[in-house]
A and B are shown apart, each in its own frame.
Chain A
Amino acid sequence: MRFDSLLDSVGGTPLVGLPKLSPSGDVRLWAKLEDHNPTGSIKDRAALRMLLDAEKDGRLRPGNTILEPTSGNTGISLAMAAKLRGYRMVCVMPENTSEERRQILRMWGAEIISSPAAGGSNEAVRVAKQVAEDHPDWVMLYQYGNPSNALAHYDGTAREILDDLPSVTHFVAGLGTTGTLMGAGRFFREHKPDVKIVAAEPRYGELVYGLRNLDEGFVPELYDATLIDARFSVGPRDAVRRVRELLDNEGIFAGISTGAILHAALGQAAKCVREGETADIAFVVADGGWKYLSTGAYEGTIDEAEDRLDGQLWA
């Protein structure tokens, strides 16, 4: 495959079968390898689409500064795209994210403003909104509320899966900004409405949920519950166990959030087997494991890995 530039190569990722983890010939699992994108994560799709759409509608002009709250991957993707398109990039990121993510962001030229660990990404969003008020000339693409984020998956991720796997019955992805699930959900509702949309949501340690009032929670503006059919909360123990199974059985080295997604996909697969259904379950491998090596998720016992992940934003 040949492309005019790195940015032109975003998307078009492989969909690979999982012959060992699929429970039977009738219930099959398929992994959409989003780590094959230029910066190694699914966020390249959303970042590029948000940036190009903002250029098109004139919100973003040469020399502008882009600001974004991110737990890592979106910032990395935006930093890469910003560098190639000539923008300055500022990320607001919770301090309890892995060191690799910070190094990679700096490598692509991004500046980092740290937000407090307690409260996780909610705090990063709050801080970024404050910074945006102080710098009205900066452009916040705001992945949590930007329709271009979901459109990237409507036109890309979901369409590619349906093209490669017309028999798809389930789509399973992680729930963060909700962009992947909203875009893919809308695509399948319109093009193959019997496809079930399943969300896997990471469940962090207590620190991440903060100590403030319950009414200060955060639901991304993009989120529309009618576009998904089931939503599972997956803790670090199951995520680590599954991410190791994926490596041991299928040779795929994925990030920890993918373990959570696989956990939901395998749960769905087991349910299909129990009910005697035929199923082709496509799930998202959101990124590779490289950025999470320092979290200790891939070494020692599951108990040790679980302890090490407590308090970290591992997805």
Chain B
Amino acid sequence: MAIELRVPTILRTYTGGAKAVNGDGATLAEFIDNVNGAHPGLKERIVEGEPEELRRFVNVYVNDEDVRFTGGLKTGIKDGDVVVVLPAVAGG
């Protein structure tokens, strides 16, 4: 088992076109670092600043729940979880 990252179309240049890649980690931050090891450049499109936080127009979901309401980058994750990254869009 592993943790799956669903990659939005615009970030697939970092994953050789793959729609999903796997990684490991106990928190979202660790997971993003881990995935970035295999796909350098991915992290800085998702995370910014010091201390690190999610970029303003990027939404990240673990098992469909927005991580901004579950602890942000400190959100705990485990094998079998699915992490989705999406640009923020309008509705209405």
Question: Residues of A at under 8 Å CB distance from B?
Answer: 43, 69-71, 73-74, 119-122, 124-125, 143-144, 174-177, 179, 199, 201-204, 206, 208-220, 225, 228-235, 315
State how many angstroms separate the Cβ of A66 from the closest Cβ of chain B: 15
CB-CB under 8 A for A315 and B90, given A213-B10, A217-B57: no
| Chain B contacts for A220, CB-based, 8 A | 90, 92
In the complex, which of the residues B9, B69, B70 contacts A209, with contact meaning CB atoms closer than 8 Å? B9
Other-chain contact of B89, A208, A213, A229, A230 (Cβ < 8 Å): A208
* Neighbour of B57 across the interface among A74, A143, A215, CB < 8 A: A215
**A–B Cβ pairs within 8 angstroms, 15 of them:** A71-B92, A121-B92, A202-B91, A206-B9, A214-B45, A215-B56, A216-B87, A218-B57, A218-B89, A230-B70, A231-B65, A231-B69, A232-B65, A233-B66, A315-B91
Which of under 10, 10 to 19, 20 to 34, or 35 or more describes the interface residues of B?
20 to 34
CA separation between A228 and B65, bound complex, in Å? 13
Contact A218 B69 (CB under 8 A): no
Q: Which residues in A have their C-beta under 8 angstroms from that of B69?
A: 225, 228-231
Contact A175 B91 (CB under 8 A): yes
Residues in B lying within 8 Å of A, measured CB to CB: 8-11, 45, 55-59, 61, 64-66, 68-70, 84, 86-92
Interface centre among B9, B11, B58, B91 (most CB of A within 10 A): B91
A203:B88 contact, CB within 8 angstroms = no
A218 touches B64 (CB 8 A): no
Dominant SS at the B interface?
A: mixed
In the bound complex, residues from chain B placing their C-beta under 8 Å from that of A179 are 92
Chain A contacts for B92, CB-based, 8 A: 43, 69-71, 73-74, 121, 143-144, 176-177, 179, 220
Docked pose: A219 CA to B88 CA in angstroms: 6
The answer to whether B87 and A214 touch across the interface, beta carbons within 8 angstroms, is yes
Asked whether, in the complex, the Cβ of A121 is within 8 Å of the Cβ of B90, the reply is yes
Q: Are the CB atoms of A176 and B91 closer together than 8 Å?
A: yes
A residues within 8 A CB of B88? 217-219
* A144 neighbours in B (Cβ, 8 Å): 90, 92
Q: Which 4 A-B pairs have the closest CB atoms?
A: A176-B91, A217-B57, A217-B88, A231-B66
- Check A219/B56 contact, CB under 8 A, given A175-B91, A177-B92: yes
Q: Are the CB atoms of B55 and A125 closer together than 8 Å?
A: no
B89–A214 contact, CB under 8 A?
A: no
Do the beta carbons of A206 and B8 come within 8 Å of each other?
Answer: yes
Q: Which residue of B lies closest to A206 (CB)?
A: B9
- Assembly CA distance A219 to B54 (angstroms): 14
Residues of B near A124 (CB, < 8 A) are 90
Supposing A214-B55, A214-B58, A215-B57 touch, asked if A234 and B91 sit within 8 A by C-beta, the answer is no
Besides A214-B87, A218-B57, 4 more A-B contacts (Cβ < 8 Å) are: A71-B92, A199-B66, A212-B10, A216-B87
**A195 CB to closest chain B CB, in angstroms?**
16
Closest beta carbon of chain A to B36's beta carbon, Å: 15
**When the two chains form their complex, are residues B89 and A209 in contact, meaning their CB atoms are under 8 A apart?**
yes
Is B87 touching A217 in the complex (CB atoms < 8 A)? yes
Q: How far is the CB of A77 from chain B (nearest CB, A)?
A: 11
Please name the residue on chain A nearest to B57 by beta carbon: A217
Tell me whether A214 and B10 are in contact (CB under 8 A). Answer: yes
Q: A215 contacts which chain B residues (CB < 8 A)?
A: 55-57
| Closest-CB distance, A113 to chain B (whole angstroms) | 16
Contacts of A122 in B (CB 8 A): 89-90
Q: What chain A residues lie within 8 Å of B57 (beta carbons)?
A: 214-219
